[in-house]
């Protein structure tokens, strides 16, 4: 069992994907993301053959898509395939989110 310093891979804003390169497994992956205050426009989309659950770890994560949703601390949404949302942090402190993903019934497109 190996410990991965996921949060340590981000300096400021961005995302780190803990996936097959680090784990050797294509079954699942984890994304750790940070949005700076006022940052907007981060596209979240699982892609064909994938499903993801997006969890707000702290602060309010605003998701723009077919409708606008605000995820508060500890709240999550499920995205599938080409379903796309754009994330925004309208607050005054950074927002951290985590995405847990894997392959859906259609397999994967790698």
Per-domain residue ranges for the chain?
7-103
Q: Assign 108 a pLDDT band (cuts: 50, 70, 90).
A: low
* Domain 7-103 listed as CATH 2.40.37.10: no
User: pLDDT digits over 3-45, tens only?
Assistant: 999 999 998 889 999 999 999 888 999 999 999 999 999 999 9
Task: Beginning with the edge strand found earlier in the chain, give each strand of the sheet holding 50-56 in spatial order.
Answer: 14-18, 28-35, 95-103, 50-56, 76-80
Q: Which residue has the tokens 């602060």?
A: 59
pLDDT digits (tens, 9 = 90+) for 91-100: 999 999 999 9
Q: Please, which pLDDT band fits residue 90 given cuts at 50, 70 and 90?
A: very high
């Amino acid at each position: 069992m190996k410990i991965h310093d996921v949060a340590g891979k981000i300096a400021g804003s961005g995302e780190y994907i803990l996936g097959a390169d680090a784990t050797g497994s294509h079954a699942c992956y984890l994304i750790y993301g940070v949005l700076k205050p006022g940052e907007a426009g981060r596209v979240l989309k699982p892609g064909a053959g994938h499903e993801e659950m997006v969890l707000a770890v702290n602060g309010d994560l605003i998701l723009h898509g077919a409708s606008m949703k605000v995820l508060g601390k500890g709240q999550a949404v499920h995205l599938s395939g080409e379903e796309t949302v754009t994330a925004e942090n309208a607050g005054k402190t950074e927002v951290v989110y985590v995405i847990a993903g894997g392959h859906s019934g259609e397999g994967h497109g790698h």
